[in-house]
Structures are given as C-alpha cells and as structure tokens.
Chain A
C-alpha cells in the first residue's frame, strides 16, 4: 500500500514539475531561436565560396537532460503495447534544439558567422541503470566560419 502511495506521489511530482519545466523550456527555446536566427547553421560538409572566409573555428554545444518520473512511467507503459513514445520525443527534441542553440551562442561570440558541417550526436549516459533511457546527452558541433 505504501509503495503504491510513493509511486503515486512521484508520478504527481513528475507530472507537475516535468510538464511545467517542458513548457518553460520550449518558451525559452523559441525566444532564443528567434534571437539567434542570424547565425545560420548548415549540415553541408564544405562551405560554398570557400575562399571568401578567413576565419574558422570548431564550436560546440551540449546538454544533458533527464526524463521526469511521469514521462518514464508513461514510456514504460508504452513499451507494453508499442507505438510512438511521445513523452520521450519531446525530451529529445528539446535537448537537440538546446544543444544547437548553445553551439550558436558560442559561435556568435566570434562575430557574424555561419556554421558548417554540423553534426548532432546523442548518447544515453545512464546505460545499465534501472531506467535505461533516463538521461541523454546531446552534443552539437560544427565549424564556424567568418570573414
């Protein structure tokens, strides 16, 4: 009985804090994406008009996020029936966009620039733990080129 109560409390806490945090995070992501719109990001391996650029530098951004208890629980249920795990889709989407934003913020300090050959890498860093998909790290990196 106590066990069920604890789980219910954790679920409620996870839901309350997790969904609030997700909303706030999306709001901040949208604001910063708007502000950093001028830093353009490309996955092209080689910048066109290569010899126009004088400066180049590796830039990166990373973020480590964890699912809340509610999300992990919903994903666990979803694991029984299969299908889209929307609770984790949002988590990974936020993590990737955050990593790209941090990379852009680093690049912006160099002045006006464009970022080429962007790679995004996702690693689960709680492998072997009880909730295997609990914590993920996303790293975005690329080369910023400037005049």
Chain B
C-alpha cells in the first residue's frame, strides 16, 4: 500500500478512484505518565512519553485507514491528511484520512 500526501504519484497513473478512507483512534494518557508530564511542566522540554504515545496512535489510525483501503481493493491512498484534536482532558483523537485509488504503472 502506497501512502502519499501528493495528489499524483510519480511514474504511476490513477486508474480508479475508490473514495475517501479514514481511520481514527482515541487514546488516553497513562495516569502515571501524566503525573510525570505534570512534573515536566515545571521544567519544560520535550515530553517523550507523549511524543511516543501520539506517534503510536497515529500509526494505528493509519493502519485502520489502510485496512479500509484494502477492503476496497485499493493499492494506494493519495492526499493523506492528519488531524489531532483533544476531545477531553487527558484524551486525544488522532485521525487520518485520504483518497483510496488503484494505480497502474504509467506507460
């Protein structure tokens, strides 16, 4: 499965558009890590635990999107976008969406 956020793929052409596919996941923070993050709020700096958590969640959202695309027999998802929103205190939604297409090698 080819993922890209371009609208075209170099060297390939789109033979069929299969519509929008999306994947999302809502994750809550681990309470212990949240306390550590609270301490970090005093000192500042990167919250590595959160970075990893959000990255992991985003990968899961992508996996769900890819599963939808596979169900449509697509071999690529074009114009992929991400969005993050915090739905409640301590929980964030990671959302990925794009257009599923079937590609063929350009002649």
Interface residues, chain A, CB within 8 Å of chain B? 10, 13-14, 17-18, 21-22, 25, 45-47, 50-58, 60, 62-72, 91, 98, 116-117, 119, 121, 123-129, 131, 134-135, 137, 139, 141-143, 145
* B71 interface contact, C-beta 8 A: no
B55 touches A62 (CB 8 A): yes
Given A21-B45, A67-B41, A69-B42, residue A45 in contact with residue B4 (CB < 8 A): no
Given A50-B8, A117-B5, residue A135 in contact with residue B81 (CB < 8 A): no
A128 touches B44 (CB 8 A): no
A139 to B54, CA, bound (A): 10
Main SS at interface, chain A: mixed
With an 8 Å Cβ cutoff, the count of chain B residues facing the other chain is: 36
> Taking CB as reference atom, which chain B residue is nearest A54?
B11
User: With a CB–CB cut-off of 8 A, which chain B residues contact A117?
Assistant: 5-6
A103 to B99, CA, bound (A): 22
Main SS at interface, chain B: mixed
**Extra 11 A-B pairs, beta carbons < 8 Å, given A58-B80, A62-B51, A128-B89:** A18-B45, A25-B45, A50-B8, A57-B3, A64-B47, A64-B50, A66-B41, A68-B43, A71-B44, A116-B6, A123-B84
User: With a CB–CB cut-off of 8 A, which chain A residues contact B58?
Assistant: 60, 62, 139
User: With a CB–CB cut-off of 8 A, which chain B residues contact A129?
Assistant: 89
Among A63, A67, A116, A119, the residue within 8 A (CB) of B44 is A67
